[in-house]
Chains A and B, each alone.
Chain A
Amino acid sequence: MSEYNKPLPPPTVESEPFWDGCKRHELVVPRCDACLNHWFPPTATCPKCWSTDWTWTGVSGKGKIYSFGVYHRAYHKGFADELPYALVVVELDEGPRLTTNVVGCKPDELSCDMPVEVVFDDVTEDRTLYKFKPVNDS
């Protein structure tokens, strides 16, 4: 098996529980105990009400595409073979937006507001990435 050659920045003290969740194939984000706001990326206080009381909470993994851009130029050699590839902004049903890739779908099949759901990609022994796939209406 060839070595995984895309960037995998190490988790930070604030993001480690999120990435641990991915490893378990669970999508977890911070949810405020006070105002129930979900947010991403993780930070020490709720950006809405500034409460410091919050809990890592599992979310549905369902959402829709907010927008996307399709790379026709590789800024990193790890992506050179995948051109053109789409960087997609997904809005979860719970509110937060994540930048990600959508699998099982060509870039020219994407559109804003398209429904998607999370899938997990165990890219290395230690790391699992969250990605999304189109939800079939049928």
Chain B
Amino acid sequence: MSTNLSGKYAIVGVGQSPLGKVPELGPIGLFAVAAKNAIEDAGLKKEDVDGLITRGPDDVYCHHQRVGEALGLNVTFSTSTANGGASQTMAVAMACMAIEAGVCNTVVVGYGRDTWSRTHRNAEAKQAVASSPRTYSEFGSEFGRFGAPVNYAVSARRHMERFGTTKAQLGAIAVAFRNHARKNPHAFMKKPLTLDEYLGARLIVDPLCLFDCSVFIDGAGAVVVTSAERARDLRQPPAYVRGFGFGNRLSGWYNDDNMINTGAKEAGEAAYKMAGIGPQDVDTAQIYDCFTHMVLLQLEDYGFCAKGEGGPFVGSGALEFDGVLPTNTSGGQLSEGHIEGMLQVLEGARQVRREHTPDRQVKDCNIAFVSGHGGNTVCQSALILGREAG
């Protein structure tokens, strides 16, 4: 037995904190500001909230409890998720499931962290950056394996050698998102970026260069999820949750062909099936972009092009605002700022609400596809938002 939840729930409010360099706020404070803005945007009050699903810096124990304390909330359902960057899109789906199960009615979902300030707030923080990593894991750090970029570098290298994907094609992703960020007043990186500048940038872990990597900022985003029935009486046009799905290849990024064929395939198939649509029906995509290459892999696995054809697809200008699939229209994590996919949930909702100025608003936007990715690279979550319930 299965119940199709498509169109039964909706994002009814979106909110964000100041983004960029916000040293005066910590991660919980940033989250609280975003949550307050999301609730106000929905036209709801604190008393209406009876669910809370959060994530923040992964070292914060019982994160939802800390956020709830800051907001003075008592709820009937709350938890913190641990699927890395796949958590935030998943949390919107979890909110729908929790409401469907009858354990709560109106859920705040969000993410916040102070990633810029953590390493720049004061002399002590700066020193922490300059010194060596604090934790080492065997079978890797002995050989110089540190940081996230290498996971995507090895995947990109394999993809390049197998399918002929080029650096310039990865660059097209970075350039497209920068072009979008330039129109977003809240984006962190608004300096023009050309393909030549991209190709001349310093390498981090080859084949990935500086502009292949997302930008670390301070900030938070939050959304409010409730029933479609309730949504109709609220202030904003609802962004209906039309579909969701997950694919977590827990057997490991470095095993089988998981770094080329990702769990996004299962996640996307489930989400499209639930929504009763296919990739050709998507008007805008908000794809989790910790690194350019991860966008390319997901575009293939989510069916926007065939496996191996991601390079030519992005190289054709498909992701630009006037391309066939305007993608990461607020600048994405590569240029707006890395808030673990949360800002892309907001942007998907804003696009189907059609609230942007014409230079940023995807015309006649009915369907926004939002993806999350993370949890040590193997977790994928897909979310389909619609202007109409069905």
Contacts and interface: CB of A to CB of B under 8 A. Distances in A.
Interface of A: 6-9, 11-12, 15, 40-41, 47, 66-73, 75-79, 82, 84-85, 87-89, 97-101, 107, 111-113, 129, 131
B142 interface: yes
B280 interface: no
A109 to B, nearest CB: 13
B102 interface: no
Nearest to B130: A77
Nearest to A11: B138
Contact of A67 (B158, B204, B251): B158
Q: Interface size bucket, B side?
A: 20 to 34
Nearest to A15: B138
Given A67-B155, A111-B161, A112-B161, A73 B204 contact: yes
A28 to B, nearest CB: 14
A76 B157 contact: no
Contact of A9 (B141, B150, B251, B259): B141
Given A15-B138, A99-B254, A68 B157 contact: yes
Contact of A7 (B142, B153, B154, B208): B142
Contact of A41 (B139, B147, B162, B206): B139
Contacts of A129: 142-143
B133 A99 contact: no
Contacts of B202: 72
Contact of A100 (B133, B143, B147, B158): B143
A15 B205 CA distance: 28
A112 B144 contact: no
28 contacts: A7-B142, A8-B142, A9-B136, A15-B138, A15-B139, A66-B154, A69-B150, A69-B154, A69-B205, A70-B205, A71-B144, A72-B204, A73-B204, A75-B144, A75-B147, A76-B133, A76-B144, A76-B146, A77-B132, A79-B144, A84-B203, A84-B206, A87-B143, A97-B254, A99-B254, A101-B143, A112-B158, A129-B143
Contact of B133 (A11, A41, A73, A75): A75
Interface of B: 132-133, 136-147, 149-150, 153-155, 157-158, 161-162, 202-208, 251, 254-255, 259
B260 to A, nearest CB: 10
Contact of A75 (B146, B161, B254): B146
B205 A72 contact: yes
Contacts of A98: 139
Contacts of B147: 75
Contacts of B141: 7, 9, 76
Contacts of B150: 69, 71, 87
A7 B204 CA distance: 20
A8 B158 CA distance: 28
Contacts of B142: 6-9, 129
Contacts of A12: 138
B70 to A, nearest CB: 33
A112 B149 CA distance: 18
A91 to B, nearest CB: 10
Nearest to B135: A9
A21 to B, nearest CB: 13
Given A69-B153, A71-B206, 5 more contacts: A9-B141, A72-B203, A72-B204, A76-B146, A129-B143
A72 B203 CA distance: 6
A107 B144 CA distance: 14
Contacts of A78: 132, 144
